[in-house]
Amino acid sequence: MKKLRIITLFSALLAVLVAAQISCNSSSSGPSETTGHGGGHWSYSGATGPEHWGDLDPQWAACKSGTNQSPVDITDPVTHASADMEFHYKASAGTVMNNGHTIVFTPTDGGYILVSGKQYNLLQFHFHTPSEHLVNGSAYRMEGHLVSQAADGNYAVVGVFYDSGNGNNVVETVFGAVSDTENHETAVTAEVDANGLLPSGMAYYRYSGSLTTPPCTEGLVWSVFETPSTAAETDIQKMENLYGGNARPAQNLNGRTINHMM
Ligand SMILES: [Zn+2]
């Protein structure tokens, strides 16, 4: 009888472990920065906050040991008159989700960008409050990240700063459609054109960095627009209320050069 109870207990424990493993796998099957899927296990404060990410999972070691991490504080950039980007985003339906870390929109086919002639297809875009990148030590109210991937698997991410001001149509459409329930995907039938997220000025900062969320993978081409755009105060506050701050602190440049491309 006692043995049976132990076996029952063991089975129950095993079931819990298997369930945890499944939920863990589903939440870490892809980095939230790139796929939009991310579960628990990491956060922006406390024991699972940014300073601990590298210790939470061996696959996230780059968060601690990486030397080309993002975001960074943009200071003393080197100016080049050699802008190398072309934007070929296009209007697309898609899905929006609050994945517990950010609001992320995934287009059905949102077009692509060219960086030095190399094509990176738009996977998704999402937001951070306050901005993750700093300029001379200062943050903007919000930052959008447009994540694209090339056929060889490499990523290029475009960052856009937002001040509080005139509403942004794309932000309003996406934030207006998102469910408050975490990990609940909502179809967005309206055509969402990522071009609408870009600012008017086209100069940008270029450097080599990483995903700003676990697993903090390096080798990303970062292009952060210099000129901020604007979003409605209510939309910025929606992000702040949902996440209470979802920006990783600025990381050490470790000798990297930031280029100012115009
Ligand atoms: Zn991001």
Q: How does the average pLDDT of the chain come out, rounded?
A: 88
The mean per-residue pLDDT over the stretch 111-116 comes to 98
Q: State the catalytic residue, choosing from 37, 101, 126, 145.
A: 101
- Given a contact cutoff of 8 angstroms between Cβ atoms, the answer to whether 159 and 225 are in contact is yes
Integer Cα distance of 109 and 187 in angstroms: 14
Residue ranges of the domains in the chain? 31-261
Look up 126 and say whether it is catalytic.
Answer: no
| Topology given in CATH for the domain delimited by 31-261 | Carbonic Anhydrase II (3.10.200)
- Residue 16 CA to ligand 1 centre (angstroms): 32
Between the CA of residue 104 and those of 55, 95, 179, 216, what are the distances in Å?
26, 8, 11, 18
- Determine the pLDDT at residue 33: 57
CA of 107 to the centre of ligand 1 (A): 16
Q: How far apart are CA 233 and CA 24, in angstroms?
A: 35
**Both tokens assigned to 145:** 């990240």
Report which of residues 16 and 166 the model is more confident about. 166
- For 89-109, write each residue's pLDDT tens digit: 999 999 999 999 999 999 999
Ligand 1 center to residue 147 CA distance, Å?
A: 8
Higher pLDDT, 187 or 24: 187
The pLDDT of residue 39 is 42
Q: How confident is the model at residue 81 (pLDDT cuts 50, 70, 90)?
A: confident
Q: How far is the CA of 246 from the centre of ligand 1 (A)?
A: 9
Ligand 1 centroid from CA 127, angstroms: 6
CB 166 within 8 A of CB 173: no
Spacing, Cα 223 to ligand 1 middle (Å): 12
Cα-to-centroid distance, 39 and ligand 1 (Å):
15
Which residues partner with 117 through β-bridges? none
pLDDT for 77 equals 97
Q: How many helices (H) and strands (E) does the chain have?
A: 6, 15
Give Cα 33 to chain centroid, integer Å: 4
What does the pLDDT look like over 163-210, one tens digit per residue? 999 999 999 999 999 998 999 999 999 999 999 999 999 999 999 999
- Structure token digits, residue 126: 């999402």
pLDDT at 29 over 60: no
pLDDT band at 30 (very low <50, low <70, confident <90, very high): very low
pTM of the complete model: 0.86
For residues 12-26, average pLDDT:
36
Task: List pLDDT tens digits, range 132-149.
Answer: 999 999 999 999 999 999
Q: What is the pLDDT of residue 164?
A: 98
Instruction: Please report which confidence band the pLDDT of residue 63 belongs to, taking 50, 70 and 90 as the band edges.
Output: very high
Contact present, 87 and 113 (Cβ < 8 Å): yes
Q: Determine the pLDDT at residue 34.
A: 54
Q: Which sign, positive or negative, has the C-alpha torsion 61, 67, 71, 73? A: positive
pLDDT in tens, 213-226: 999 999 999 999 99
